[in-house]
A and B are shown apart, each in its own frame.
Chain A
Amino acid sequence: MLMKMFAFEWRYFTKQPSFYVTSLIFFLLTFFATVSENVQIGGGGNVLYNGPFSIAQTLLIMGLFAMFLVVNFVASTATRNDSSKMSELLYSKPINPLSYQLGRFLGSFAIVATVFAFVPLGILIGSLLGGLVGWIDPERLGATNLSHYFTAYFYLSLPSLFVLSCFFYAVAIKFRSMMAVYLSAVGLFILYTISGQLLNEPEYRTMSALLDPFALNTFGEVTRYWTMFDKNNSPIELSGMLLENRLLWLGISVVIMALFGGFRSKVRLSQVKVKKQSKKALKKADAQLALQTEKIPQLLDNNISTKSAGVQSGAHMRMRILFEIKQVIFSAPFLVLAVLTIFMLVAPLVDPQGMFGTPNWPLTQNMVELIAGSTGLLMMIVLAYYSAEIVWRERNSGMGDIVDSMPVNNITFWLSKIIAISLVLVLLYVCGVAVTVTNQWLLGYNNLDLSQYVVRLGYLGLIPLIFTAVLAFFLQVISPNKYIGMMLFVLFIISSITLSNFGFSHNMFQFSSAPQVPYSDINGYGSFLESNHWYMLYWGGVTLVLASLTYALWHRGPAQKLKTRIKKVSYYLAAPGKVTIALGLVLFVGAGSVIHYNTRVVNEFMISDDREDLQAAYEKKYVEYLNATIPTVTKTHAKVDIFPEERRIEAVAELTLTNTSNQAIDKFLVAKPQHTQQWNVEIDGGKLGEVDAKFDTAWFTFDQPLQPGETRQGKLTAIRDNNGFTDGNNDFNLVKNGTFINNFELFPVFGYQASYQLTDRHDRRKHELAPLQRANKLEDERFYNESFFGNGVGFIDFEATISTSKEQFAIAPGYLQSEKVEGNRKIYHYKMDAPIVNFYSVMSAKLANKKQQYKGIDIEVYYHETHEMNVDRMIESVKDSIDYFTEHFGPYQHKQMRIIEFPGYRSFAQSFANTVPYSEKIGFISDLRDPENIDPAYYVTAHEVAHQWWGHQVGAANVQGNAIISESLSQYSALMVMEKKYGKDKIRKFLKYELDRYLRGRSVEAIEEMPLFRSENQQYIHYRKGSVVMMALKDRFGEARVNASLKGFLEDFKYQSTPYPTTIDLMAYITEGATQEEKSFVSNMFEHISLYDLKTTDVKVVAVVGKEDFYDVTLTIDAALKRADGQGKETEVEFVDLIDIGLFNADPEDLSAKDFVLYLAKHEIKTGSNEVTIRVQGKPTFAGVDPFVKYIDRDSADNIYRL
């Protein structure tokens, strides 16, 4: 019986198209993810495509989608007898429930397992074929090791599938309805995402790893800090947390099946609910009788021969639209979708993940992005599902023959259905907006800006979706059944993702897509909406053609072949349809021409492959001039006229140049700035040669070479212009409101442009380029006279004359000398009194401002009027920073500090001399009302102010580690200011984030992790590890000593450019007068990738006899220090160090606890097992080593021992 039922299920499903369709989809998804660079499921960074980590991760992520599989196969098995009306035939047979149900269950589970096996198969074939044909860089593939596929499939996927199958089978058996299963699937999904969100906090990670039926979090936890080496070599082991998780869920699923799988009860028909006879019903019966005897005889005489008045387009349309809407909206799937939409939004809103865990204010621009982002995939599912459901409604209900033979125009069916599906999309967005508006209201944010919801969701979001719905309908109509139609739609989605791989990345090739329309509160839609209109006209034309063809090909009658229907196209189109098609074609060609002209003729468009080729060719042609000497600017007067409305800048920079090298310069390379047609470089005694148009590069040749030390006058000119529109390559520097451009972007730049080089290792291999040297060697003294801004960038005397339109103000580094209005132009003259690095910004915007004077320093913040929330906090941060830095490092070189908000197209803050452009996406919008949270506005401001010292007063040589001097020291300085204001607990919280981000950063390193002092512009090192190391140093050496070292370093290298300092210099100041132990500590931190493994294995507490409330506490501590190489391979080294030992009466992880420290002091800890005994007053409940995680430790949870 069991085997028979098993075999029956197997045969049944292998005959269903859905088996093949889903298998194919699962196969194609992972296949394409493997062979194409645009689709990525697992992996990332330098992980081998067929390595154990990316196989496992891909399988886990696809496991989430497997929920649909299980519902489709297992649950439909459970309900099939009822749904196919077989139950009466079956249940009258003598059936043993156990073997019957179990056989069916296992049969359908086997199907699910088989379909899912196509996931690893897709990776396997993808990697084999991709490697063979050359789609994949062989370096991205390891040796094919089948055991990786098997372990991932059997350890990770199969148990998850089993859990899901048991759960959904039980639900289906219990409720005998697919709808119940769908609802529980959605419920499970919601529960999963929400708990995932809430359990994401570090303290709950273990719990979420254990409780995750999909094992996604479990795997994430196990591999959290895996380096590249681990990811490509460590097999997945069924042990520890993963084993516990799998056993737990196997147990749970067996229990579910045993209790609810229907094994114990007899198989029987579902109970029919019989309505009770009530008085009401009796009354009703009376009424029926009256009807029977009085009303009906009259009705029999009714005139039933009213003739059909023919096709009633208007009336038909009205009725069918209402009908379709009713069918769609008042159905369980729609409610499920609405609930799903709401919950998908609620989770990120309840626990918004801002900078350092601090939420942002719910700005409408972010809310819109949240809605669009979180519903993106859902909308595609909606389109796939509903287009099938709606188009085939007549066929599926069995009503098709009747309805189709009615005198109704095809367009009536089509239009009513397209309106219904559009309404679904609209309503889902409305649900989303309702949620976010409620959220805004709850959070007390009342700048709702509803028009943004309308324009960005209603126009930018919805119109392309509706076009896609028309396409989905078309695909359904040309298909013989809804499954093929759905498959075609899925293929369309896959193709739209992969098309750009084959060079079709222009939006004109991607159905219904247009270049992104970025939004900024400062600049609004800028000028980006216009291009969107053209693209929508273009796709609207295609859509009109598709729409007409769809209704002309509409299924009338039981599925007729496409060929037969094509014969009738002309008949059903009739004149209006043909006119529509013509109109569509006119739009398509017309708007298409406009787009082509603008994006390819007026502006440049290049697909990424061509761009790469060009980059490679540039490098090959010019790389020999990488370190060629170029003139250094020593004095600049920039004259910049900004025309914001036209998005145009006319700029001239009058320069004084010199040759700082020891050899004459007879020629040097010049690169043309972007978006600039007219430009020139004029220097006495030379001229700009022919422009190499391919690379936008020219040689400047001196007739009389520029001799070492010689000074000449020169002039740079550039007219930056934005004409027409582009296909996404937008000029975000020059916008209608919020222009922010620096001199390297505005003016022609000298020398070989290293930034043009390909950076991706695989791209470089493809173009036969040697691995990129990210930075010059630390020891290479040739670069000690070059600043970290690059060759030829030194300190300058600066002056700027900037004009802009009357409505805006313009700003550049320096002090305002004059401000005047001439006609409709405002003209500003700025002049700097101290030398600045030749790196300056020019900005123009219309903003509100707040100014304060503090100790003779003008503090100014320019901000968008709706972003005033944290302006005072920023000013406070500037004051605190200037105080602390002045006291500990030296005086501030300027008399002004200005913070200027710029549009959020870019999200960073950047420190120029006395000027800090600051993106609207960060800091300004942080919601600082909860004092428990870290204050990003205060922190970022302090960091940028610190750059006035680190970076602007003291530079760094253009060698490895330069960012340590500018960034890590700024991080340290900012943290010290923060510590003074917010206390040590906040810093601990901050450092936890920093440590986590460092460890995660190194786990996705693309080339090689460097030790701190050799950091090669690696952000996770110079920011994240920099914070951790500098604060550990401060903990070890004390604030005064560290600050004194830094002060000495600063004083000695202030404004010095021959040579600039390096990290070797910095470390010399730090280790000055240090003991051997301290030196080895610094060496471990700076010169090596050191990972401490500190662990409290045992704690014994013994009450001291005769002394009340005194205890002897003995801790056993295992200690190890591991050194990792650049790929993360570790070797152990001996160490001895002074490390914190702490005893507490509350969890030290709990940041809200107060006065919980019973004992905290440094003890000598060495490699191996250590025993430490401490006498303490008060009984400790927690004890541990390095309790506040000052050392870099991959598993800091085991530092603490809970008593």
Chain B
Amino acid sequence: MSKLFTGAEIVFKCLEDQGVEFIFGYPGGAVLPIYDELKNHSSLKHILVRHEQGAGHAAEGYARSSGKPGVVLVTSGPGATNVVTALTDAYMDSVPLVCISGQVPTHLIGTDAFQECDTTGITRPCTKHNWLVKDIKDLSKTLHEAFRVATTGRPGPVLVDIPKDIQFAKISYSKPKVKKKLNGKSLNQFSQNQIDELINLMNKSKKPIIYSGGGVINSGPEASEVLRELVELTGFPITSTLQGLGAYPGDDNQFLGMLGMHGTYEANNAMHDCDLLINIGARFDDRITGKIDEFSPKSKKVHIDIDPSSINKIIKVDLSLVGDVKDVLKSINTTLKKKNMNLNKSNKQQISKWWEQIQKWRTKNSLHFKNSDETIKPQHAVQRLYELTKHKDTFITTEVGQHQMWAAQHYKFNKPNRWMTSGGLGTMGYGLPAAVGVQIAHPEKLVVDIAGEASVLMTMQEMSTAVQYNLPIKIFILNNQYMGMVRQWQELLHEKNYSESYSEALPDFIKLAEAYGCKGIMAEKPSELDEKINEMVQFDGPVIFDCRVDPNENCFPMIPSGKPHNQMILGPSKKEENKIIGKGKALV
């Protein structure tokens, strides 16, 4: 008879066979057998967080920056409910997470036992799939299946709930067999005919635009390379969603900047006026489309996505190619090179007028802001941070709000997986724990969380994690004392009724940093900014940087939603165009 292992041992055997190196977790009664077993597995390092939400976001940061699934281990009841926000966040942004939760023993399930909750019931709508393991025989199969579901197709979070008695039960273990069939859920469904049709559309187009998204990042670094090749081959302009930043170099001339609600004037106008729109791994999110009825009215629309349910969900498209972005783009490039040796030239002539138009839009310089010698403008702070860190391979995470948009607008990313932000769910408090996870995956790299003072306080406790593991993360807080985006909307849309958006009694971030055992730096004047940023970058250890910025700055440009892309409002330097009136005001 083969050797018998406990459920807890099997959990580790599965994790080892899956090549897991790090677990982000927090112990508790219902996972004690698993924690007890931890000491016997030196290849797995456990990162002790300070709150289960932090474990989830750290695992997200780890996954998004490394391309590997993040693993979370939490206890039953509050452990599981605390991780729900992170699971939902990962679900919205397609981040592969495997969450293992403890559960009360099977005979107590349904009795309202101590720290019991219906974990699979609670997490059903925020995971790709979840399992309650009621029989030790199912444990290893379920765990391997969990990794497969999390990482294949459109990635996402999964949860495996393991009752405590299952962790003690014994059974033999065998390594996973080759892949189970996919229940007919094959991933690549596109055909050469569709590729040919797309190329035909590309040949005819006079005003094309490529709109790429997080799917390119999820498809792996190779996808970014083939995307770059496609853009070069065609000479088409490209814009990117928030999640897609870095897939195409942010400082390249063919890149129009981010699109959408706070996207650039040129990107949004190009989306509106184009005659061919090629969506690569994005999902027509409402912050991208604005008013649906008037979204890119004159274009043929093509959608490349691995998830068939993304096609025609929001915007009806003329051609859809379901498959892994990398594979679809490779086919396109191969066909382009084979069939259209001269596309390169002819096409670039055909779209030269389009590029002239784009250049005109560019002269609006929509990201412009009025700088100041007295107060630090938040945009200026991000620009300086970029200039002073761009020579390094820097990883940026953010919280959610104005600072997130300024980071997206002013920090230029040249590589995929360098930008971690909560897009779909918009989770304040994401950035700090995400930075912890990124630093774990890339111990030698510079990791900066561009934060807001309100967001960062939501998960500030994870500084303690950073200190414990010597993670030199830099928390760069654009401190305007307001929940800035809330304040901006109240200013523009709710008659400046700043209801509850001002944070009184903020902590002294320098002292807070010191209390956690890390370094605190404060900058108040533009003149000292560079020196202080350099000090932060050079410091070997975690830093909280309190960057005091102009509290009244708003994030522009902006599409008042309910408006089409060509009706953006620009910053205060273009005052005459900056009135939201009548109906538009109602629809932001």
The answer to whether A and B come from one shared complex is no
Listed in ascending order, the chain B residues whose CB lies under 8 Å from chain A are: none
